[in-house]
Structure 1
Amino acid sequence: MSAAKKVCFVLVAVFMVTSTQLFASSDKPGKGITLKPARATWNTGYFQEALVSRALTELGYKVNKPKDLKNPIFYKALTLGDLDYWCNGWFPMHNSQLPKDFEDKAQIIGYVVKAGGLQGYLVSKKAVEKYGIKSLDDFKREEVKKAFDKNHDGKADLTACPPGWGCEKVIAHHLEAYNLEDDINPVKASYEAGMASAIGAYKSDEPIFFYTWTPNWTVFKLKPGKDVMWINVPEIKPTQAQAVAKEMMTQSGIEGAVTDPVKLGFVVSDIRIVANKKFLAANPAARKFFEVFNLPLADINEQNTRMSEGEKSAADIQKHVTQWISRNQAKWNDWLAQARAAAK
């Protein structure tokens, strides 16, 4: 081989290697970077986290197993830089749980489900009709309290929220604001266990009273309008955090509500990703994916229902992710393409 041909061969080989490296780099902009995610303690948010982790893995990142944390602990750890992100921000509901330096250190980004966080109190339909229950105020009546008193302490038992959840504080506010602390007992055990107990009681034809939110499997197991009814709070008395969105605490067109509109007492929240600002600045591909990623509420409810029926292992959730991507491949590919383009 002549000297000129050898030089040409070497240049072609170098070009091919360099091109391959550049392609791999643009295809996997997160290569060599390890991410530290978290997820909320309610399992109805696991699916969203798993989808985002799958996407970031496809972008080349190594994604650690998420830490299961209560809201205030997560937000503090995020501002300290101990964690990078989670997909379980509910706003404005979580505003009161943010540390003082939150805006300096962290950012709320994208919309997993815009206006997806519907919340409120539900009562079994038979009990609503039997006792004429329209609002929480009806639980001041002795015959109503007695019907829902499971532990015989003279109070109606409410399947409520575990300590540390944002809804726990709102429920406590309601009981105080409407003078119901001597009438309603908020049961704060594991929410999943509490709802399993409530469903068992419902199947035994016992009256039930519980708090829930969407997305959630509960409104598939116990269908509003058929099995249970959304009830009112006596009047809208927002917490300080809720006050900025007071008008969103009363909603019209809610299927299975005892009145239309219904005073839910909770702000309809946006479900959003929350991330550390330094992490976002250093990872434009991840940032772009967070911005464009979104899910139909119905898809989350469907997946949550499958979990409630027994498909709740880590392997099951990964199977759900794979199936969802397969059904939405074009959208998924577009999100990844936008993320890769943002990193160039």
Structure 2
Amino acid sequence: MAGNRILYGIGAALTALTLSVSPLAAQSLPGEGTTVRMGQPTWDTEWFQAQVYKKAMEALGYTVQGPTALDNPPFYQALGQGDMDFWASGWFPLHNTYLDEIKGKASTVGYVAKGGALQGYLIDKKTAEEHNIRTVDDFKKPEVAKLFDDNGDGKADLVACPPGWGCELTITHQMEAYGLGDTVEPIKAAYSASMADAISRYEQGKPIFFYTWTPNWTVGMLKPDEDVVWLEVSKPSLPEDQKEMESQTSIPDVKGCASNPCQMGWPANDIQVVANDEFLEKNPAARKLFEEMSIPLEDIFAQNAQMYQGADKPADLERQADEWIKANQQTFDGWIEAAKAAAQ
């Protein structure tokens, strides 16, 4: 009986000890109890990356609201006001103007993809070769512009960017700088729909002229040097807030460009997380996570191709993110452990 009392006493002590440490165990994840407001752009080629970042934040214990799709101006405004915490879709130098407006309230952190985001103008390879079109300046010629005129107004139809996108501001600047106002008409409708129309025209054997960026499904469907070619510019011309980047618009080894290096007129962009400064200060684990994370461009290309082929529903994006994490589990787990350590 005495032995039973001793065993009972030990058991009770162990139970009490277990109860005393269980609250600590429940709080072992640095994001536990914190809700994060996450954004993503209205252009869908960033949505896969957003899902991967969301799942990484959830692995740290954060509750993530969103990601909420916003155009650039409202997102950066909300970020500066403290109504949003972060997104993984800052394009720099393209978004310099937006970040300058909230300087001291938000910062870039880490690199989703460093220096790999190309931008520029392309046309179908067949028309380029038949009419010796190599530069944007060639579109000053009415006979060249007419080749790409789909609505009969005498101007080349350029698939451009909707209002509110950073690229829309740069394209508007360049159309004026290169003297193309009388011969080129930028299409500023929904980008995906406009590109779908362009691809349909291409499949009918018609000339096409469009702006795009990488990573993007467009260069998966219309492959540079096979289906399309990049156009060069005679000299770089960027908006005032990007002037210092003009020397970086000559890009080496661009597939589908007639020259090497290729004078694309746009600098290669870094894709970065942009986060509210107060949020970063209060969440060192999130800051460390953003510093550690990155996603290879070729993996983004592959997902974008799936999305264009119809796997673009929210459930598809979540599944694609889960599959990517599983295929890169060791790397993903390393990010989480580094972030946890930063919070200790």
Q: TM-score, normalised by structure 1?
A: 0.96
| Deviation of 1:10 (Å) | 3.8
When the two chains are superposed, the root-mean-square deviation of aligned CA atoms in Å is 1.5
| Deviation of 1:4 (Å) | 6.8
Aligned to 2:66, what secondary structure does the other structure show? coil
| Deviation of 1:285 (Å) | 1.7
Alignment of 1:68-147 (within 5 A): 68-100=69-101, 102-147=102-147
Is residue 242–residue 267 contact of structure 1 (8 Å, CA) maintained in 2? no
Q: Read off the aligned partner of 2:217 and give its amino acid letter.
A: W
User: Deviations along 1:210-231, whole A, 9 cap, x unmatched?
Assistant: 0000010111100000000001
Q: Read off the aligned partner of 2:153 and give its amino acid letter.
A: D
Q: Read off the aligned partner of 1:70 and give its amino acid letter.
A: D
1:16 aligned partner = 18
| Deviation of 1:151 (Å) | 1.1
2:306 aligned partner = 306
Structure 1 CA distance for aligned equivalents of residues 288 and 7 of structure 2: 45
Is residue 99–residue 106 contact of structure 2 (8 Å, CA) maintained in 1? no
2:319 aligned partner = 319
Structure 2 CA distance for aligned equivalents of residues 275 and 257 of structure 1: 36
Structure 2 CA distance for aligned equivalents of residues 185 and 258 of structure 1: 25
Q: Read off the aligned partner of 2:17 and give its amino acid letter.
A: F
2:166 aligned partner = 166
| Deviation of 1:293 (Å) | 0.6
Q: Read off the aligned partner of 1:318 and give its amino acid letter.
A: E
| Deviation of 1:87 (Å) | 0.6
Is residue 75–residue 99 contact of structure 1 (8 Å, CA) maintained in 2? no
Is residue 140–residue 180 contact of structure 2 (8 Å, CA) maintained in 1? yes
1:50 aligned partner = 51
| Deviation of 1:234 (Å) | 2.1
Structure 2 CA distance for aligned equivalents of residues 145 and 291 of structure 1: 46
Q: Tell whether 2:35 aligns with 1:34.
A: yes
Q: Tell whether 2:150 aligns with 1:150.
A: yes
Q: Tell whether 2:187 aligns with 1:204.
A: no
| Deviation of 1:5 (Å) | 6.1
Structure 1 CA distance for aligned equivalents of residues 20 and 213 of structure 2: 52
Q: Read off the aligned partner of 2:37 and give its amino acid letter.
A: K
2:64 aligned partner = 63
User: For residues 37 and 52 of structure 1, do their structure 2 counterparts lie closer, same or farther at Cα, with a shift above 3 Å needed?
Assistant: same
Is residue 76–residue 98 contact of structure 1 (8 Å, CA) maintained in 2? no
| Deviation of 1:240 (Å) | 1.6
1:282 aligned partner = 282
| Deviation of 1:141 (Å) | 1.4
User: Deviations along 1:133-164, whole A, 9 cap, x unmatched?
Assistant: 11111111122111101111111000000111
Query: How many residues are aligned here?
Result: 342
| Deviation of 1:307 (Å) | 0.3
Unaligned runs of 5+ in 1: none
Q: Read off the aligned partner of 1:72 and give its amino acid letter.
A: P
Is residue 76–residue 99 contact of structure 1 (8 Å, CA) maintained in 2? no
1:255 aligned partner = 255
Q: Read off the aligned partner of 1:18 and give its amino acid letter.
A: S
User: Deviations along 1:304-336, whole A, 9 cap, x unmatched?
Assistant: 110001000000001101110111010011111
Alignment of 1:287-298 (within 5 A): 287-298=287-298
Question: Percent identity between the aligned chains?
Answer: 45
Q: TM-score, normalised by structure 2?
A: 0.96
Structure 1 CA distance for aligned equivalents of residues 100 and 79 of structure 2: 10
| Deviation of 1:302 (Å) | 0.5
User: Deviations along 1:187-219, whole A, 9 cap, x unmatched?
Assistant: 011110011001100000000000000010111
Structure 1 CA distance for aligned equivalents of residues 293 and 26 of structure 2: 23
